[in-house]
Structure 1
Amino acid sequence: MAVPPSSEDLLITEDLLRRSVENVLAVRECQIHGAVIAYRGQLRLAPPRALEVLQARFRPLGFTPFLREDGRGEVVVQAVPLAETTEPQRVGVNVVLFVLTCLSTLVAGAGYAGSPTFDAFRSSITGTLFVSGVPFAATLLAILVVHEFGHYFTARHYRASVSLPYFIPAPPPFPFGTLGAIIRMRSPARDRNALFDIAAAGPLAGLLVAIPAFVLGLQWSNVVPVPVLTHEAFGQSGLTQLLVYLRFGSLPEGTMVYTHPMADAAWVGFFVTALNLFPVGQLDGGRIAYALFGRSHALIGRVTLIGTVLLGLAAMAVNVLVWGGTFAASLNWFVWAALVFFLVGVHHGPP
């Protein structure tokens, strides 16, 4: 990380920055807040072009430019000490985490390998139950890899520095074998448009794998009597219900679709994508909300968390009062709301 200029040479730096700014912004006012220098005025160029020019000029001086409207018809150009991680990335950490995630998803996948339709694979892959987790693990990892590299290549397109994906293994008793993956932004997105594209690219890319995988998995799934169910059933979204209907039509009463592990993995991909699109904090949805609504994103995040808790209360009431279930079986919404609040938060910083 670049070292901010000391107070002795800050005024000299301000003079150099002002010269870099003056033919881009008609400067009306300059303010210095610590090591951050802000210029207020009217842009002489279109915002995308202005930002491109300022980035090229500020970087040799050790600063990153940020543009924002001040709500009074003027633009503020902030010069922030270089907001970019320059130390080399330790790729070995990424590799180790990916290998561990492969192992943990194989273990999880073995638990979904009891479907009668899994026999179609046994003629080509023999071995232990551990190996039988391959269809689930390979499908889920493919969805996650494509999702994360959707972010990665879009960020590189916008010349933002990003890390390789860090996969997060989750051994038993966690049922999916992974908590997903993350990519570190090693430099900020150049503007909100770039931030929107970077954030949206991952979920869209992942769905391009998850939807065909679910359709293919349904080809190896069977309609069975409900009593055959030996593990907890997954919930159904509108998308999965539509795809099941297109494959099997209306199911006879007292039957259900016993899904192939590939379809199970695709369902997990849908689930992870849906969680990631919560408009909260540093999640993909939070970044999209910030790109679209600016400072209002924090309010949207709070409303989302409150809505999640209310959904949990409604689900609990239906489960206990209508179906005769227990309170403990209705805690999912509260768990996800707590994880998002404590691990992610509701605020997203500037791009």
Structure 2
Amino acid sequence: MYESLKTPFTPPASLEEIQQHVETYFDVVSSSTEVHGSIPIYLYRIEKEVHTKQPFKRLLADVREKDYTVFLQKGDTSEYLRIIAVPSIRQPRSVIRGQKEAVNDVKERMIGEKEKRKEAGDQLPTWTIVSLLLTLVTITFAGYLLTSAFGEFSTIPLILTIFFYVLSLFSIILFHELGHMIASKMHGIETTYPIFLPGLPTIGGSFGAYIREKEPPVNRDELLDIGLMGPVFGFIVAMIVTVVGILLSKPNSNGNSLSSLPLPLLYQYLSQVLRPATGNLNYHPIAFAGWVGFLITGLNLLPASQLDGGHVSRALFKGKIHRILTYVIIGILLLVGLYLMAFLLFFITRGRHPPPLDDVSPLTTKRKIFAVLSWLLVVLTFPPLQFSTLSTF
């Protein structure tokens, strides 16, 4: 793959030049160079300090002007930390986990960098548009199925009910992704456009969407912000949609397919408060959009792998604890019958969760509280589903 590298790589700065910047903010004990292939990686052993977050951010800003990126990690002993400096020729979502991975990442980015960026820039908007259209089709068909079932209880034309269902569910998905994009923008991280995921019409018509960050977050604070703001934005819209949908629902002794599903605790509470003593409800399609929104929120906030909740978990805990939590969540998903979700999590868990550049500085106390509250949101929004139950739609 790398045969085209005919000449040794010339680093944009020397070990000593980068060390001058490191010494501005940290006490350097020793330094060394490791050459992997033709890529020199600079290693600096520094004294362990209590406050590393702001000094590291300033150091990162300095060395980026030298076309370098630095990483702050735990050292080989408890008394020291380690800074790794690598040439920062970037590629979307390049996350360096260690010395070997750093070398491979730099090599890949050196080869055809401009061509890759141009190709990615041409393809991404196309995939966004195609995925958007497909998702709108599947959501619309789901709206048709739900509206037909609601039929006799509707006071507006069928096509308008379908439109409001599509608007409701798509708004939840869109605001979820906007939350991620806004958090990334706040921290100066570029993102791709969202790719929408069409789903089975019988379970709402969409599996959500995703975006990618073009570079890793600087520290755990940024990692948590990016992971958490998406579900929070989506949840707020899902709450509004659910309230409107329940208010539009009609009493019916038999109820409908949504009545037979296990409802999230928060959904049950809203139904009892907004429609007390009405018995079974024939839930409006908009109410079902809210139910799907709660499901998307609950699933995404599970503290596992690279889900949004996984980002929160990785920001809060060490990598080992994060991996243990992931396998616990996979086991729980198997117990409640979400076999496909469990398989997907197991598949993407084979690799490590990419750490932030600064994997040493802890979260702020405020963010730790938000992380714990996100688990409460999982309890409130996540229904114990089984695929056999979903087949009733």
Give the alignment's TM-score, normalised by structure 1: 0.81
Cα deviation per residue 1:292-312 (whole Å; 9 max; x = unaligned)? 002221111112212333x33
SS at match of 1:155: helix
SS at match of 1:39: strand
- Checking the alignment, whether the CA contact within 8 Å between 1:283 and 1:344 is kept in structure 2 is no
Distance 2:51 2:257 in 1: 61
SS at match of 2:54: helix
Distance 1:141 1:346 in 2: 31
Within the alignment, does 1:304 sit opposite 2:329 as a pair?
Answer: yes
* Change in CA separation of 1:53 and 1:183 when aligned onto 2, cut-off 3 Å: same
Distance 1:139 1:345 in 2: 35
* Change in CA separation of 1:30 and 1:303 when aligned onto 2, cut-off 3 Å: farther
* Change in CA separation of 1:112 and 1:66 when aligned onto 2, cut-off 3 Å: same
- Checking the alignment, whether the CA contact within 8 Å between 2:128 and 2:194 is kept in structure 1 is yes
SS at match of 1:121: coil
Distance 2:257 2:292 in 1: 19
Instruction: Give the gaps of 5 or more residues in structure 1.
Output: 313-331
Please, which of 68, 72, 79 is the counterpart of residue 78 of structure 2? 72
1:95 matched to which residue of 2?
129
Please, which of 49, 56, 65 is the counterpart of residue 60 of structure 1? 65
1:267 matched to which residue of 2?
291
What letter is aligned with 1:142? S
Cα deviation per residue 1:288-332 (whole Å; 9 max; x = unaligned)? 0100002221111112212333x33xxxxxxxxxxxxxxxxxxx3
Instruction: Give the gaps of 5 or more residues in structure 2.
Output: 93-112, 357-393
Within the alignment, does 1:38 sit opposite 2:43 as a pair?
Answer: yes
- Checking the alignment, whether the CA contact within 8 Å between 1:23 and 1:44 is kept in structure 2 is no
1:283 matched to which residue of 2?
307
2:188 matched to which residue of 1?
159
Cα deviation per residue 1:89-120 (whole Å; 9 max; x = unaligned)? 33232123212211221111111112157622
Cα RMSD of the aligned pairs, angstroms, is 2.8
Within the alignment, does 1:145 sit opposite 2:174 as a pair?
Answer: yes
1:334 matched to which residue of 2?
339
Distance 1:16 1:220 in 2: 67
* Change in CA separation of 1:336 and 1:11 when aligned onto 2, cut-off 3 Å: closer
Deviation at 1:275, TM superposition (A): 0.8
- Checking the alignment, whether the CA contact within 8 Å between 2:153 and 2:250 is kept in structure 1 is no
* Change in CA separation of 1:33 and 1:136 when aligned onto 2, cut-off 3 Å: farther
2:362 matched to which residue of 1?
none
Greater mean deviation of Cα atoms: 79-88 or 34-43: 79-88
What letter is aligned with 1:75? L
Distance 2:325 2:35 in 1: 29
> Percent identity over the alignment?
26
* Change in CA separation of 1:248 and 1:299 when aligned onto 2, cut-off 3 Å: same
Q: Matched residue pairs, number? A: 317
Within the alignment, does 1:183 sit opposite 2:211 as a pair?
Answer: yes
- Checking the alignment, whether the CA contact within 8 Å between 2:259 and 2:283 is kept in structure 1 is no
Distance 1:231 1:191 in 2: 42
Give the alignment's TM-score, normalised by structure 2: 0.73
SS at match of 2:355: coil
Deviation at 1:346, TM superposition (A): 7.1
* Change in CA separation of 1:93 and 1:46 when aligned onto 2, cut-off 3 Å: same
Deviation at 1:46, TM superposition (A): 4.0
Distance 1:167 1:302 in 2: 27
Q: Tell which has more relative contact order, 1 or 2 (C-alpha 8 A, sep 6+).
A: 2
Distance 1:150 1:11 in 2: 37
SS at match of 1:78: strand
Cα deviation per residue 1:221-273 (whole Å; 9 max; x = unaligned)? 012112x5367833211100100010122454xxx221111110111011011
Distance 1:110 1:233 in 2: 19
Deviation at 1:200, TM superposition (A): 0.5
Distance 1:65 1:236 in 2: 47
* Change in CA separation of 1:286 and 1:182 when aligned onto 2, cut-off 3 Å: same
Q: Within 5 A, what are the aligned runs for 1:200-349?
A: 200-226=228-254, 229=256, 233-250=260-277, 252=279, 256-295=280-319, 296-309=321-334, 311-312=335-336, 332-343=337-348, 345=350, 347-349=352-354
